[in-house]
Amino acid sequence: MKALVLFYQLYKLTAYAFGFPYFPISVYDIEKVVDPQSPLGKMLP
């Protein structure tokens, strides 16, 4: 699976015991809204 993963700093959303919070977003879900000339758009298939 190809994904854009957003990582947040510890303590921003959860306690240290839960580790680094992260949220994967499938590139197939966002490829229609990403500008093809943007840095992310150039990395998409």
The torsion defined by the Cα of 30, 36, 40 and 43, in degrees rounded to 10, comes to 100
Q: pTM to 2 decimals? A: 0.60
**Cα 11 to the center of its chain, rounded Å:** 19
Nearest CA among 23, 17, 26, 22 for reference residue 44 = 26
Tens of pLDDT along 9-43? 888 788 888 888 899 999 888 888 999 999 988 88
The 3-state secondary structure of 19-41 reads CCCEEEEEHHHHCCCCCCCCHHH
Q: Residue 22 and residue 11: Cα distance in Å, rounded?
A: 12
